[in-house]
Amino acid sequence: MTAYDLARGLHILAVIAWMAGLLFLPRLYAYDAEQADKTEPLRTEMRSLLRTWQLRLSGIILGPAMGAAWLFGGWLIWLDGTGRGWGFLLEPWMIAKLAGVVALTGWHEFLMAEGRRVRAGTSVRTGRFWRMTNEIPFVIAVVMVLSVTTEWTLG
């Protein structure tokens, strides 16, 4: 096994965990938003449970997985750059991959900020909003994975 193989494997595992959290957290927000029309004490009990799950998912899985994905992705770039040269960073497929990383990180940060609003009771997002946006990370991931696996070019 080479360092590159190890870095790639660890990167893939971190991204799987990160994606799982990015896909599940909006679902928890949707369920939370839908408690508004429930009667007490069910509304308070369900929101308490959902918010506990949101915090645990954010702190135990999402944050560490994103950090690990960035760390192992950086290691892969370093290994590639020192091995074949740094020119690959300007290839269209790598630019698409890196743009996807920025987009997923932005979505992650949006979800964290929204979590603070949910817990403060100031969120205006509906369950419908969360269901409609739930697949955004998956669409971004499709572009990223196909970019990396095909290493497409423009000419």
Residue 7: predicted pLDDT: 98
Residue 112: predicted pLDDT: 98
Q: How confident is the model at residue 155 (pLDDT cuts 50, 70, 90)?
A: confident
Instruction: Please state the rounded mean pLDDT for residues 3-7.
Output: 97
Helix (H, G, I), strand (E, B) or coil at 104: helix
Distance CA 150, CA 18 (A): 23
Q: What is the pLDDT of residues 95-142, one digit of tens each?
A: 999 999 999 999 999 999 999 999 999 999 999 999 999 999 999 999
Cβ atoms of 57 and 23 within 8 Å: the answer is: no
Instruction: Please state the rounded mean pLDDT for residues 40-58.
Output: 96
Distance CA 74, CA 109 (A): 19
Its pTM stands at 0.94
Query: Cis omega before residue 92 (within 30°)?
Result: no
Summarize the chain as % helix, strand, coil (round to 5): 85, 0, 15
Instruction: Please state the rounded mean pLDDT for residues 22-44.
Output: 95
Cβ atoms of 26 and 102 within 8 Å: the answer is: no
Q: How confident is the model at residue 1 (pLDDT cuts 50, 70, 90)?
A: confident
Distance CA 146, CA 143 (A): 5
Instruction: Please state the rounded mean pLDDT for residues 82-99.
Output: 96
Mean pLDDT taken over the chain: 96
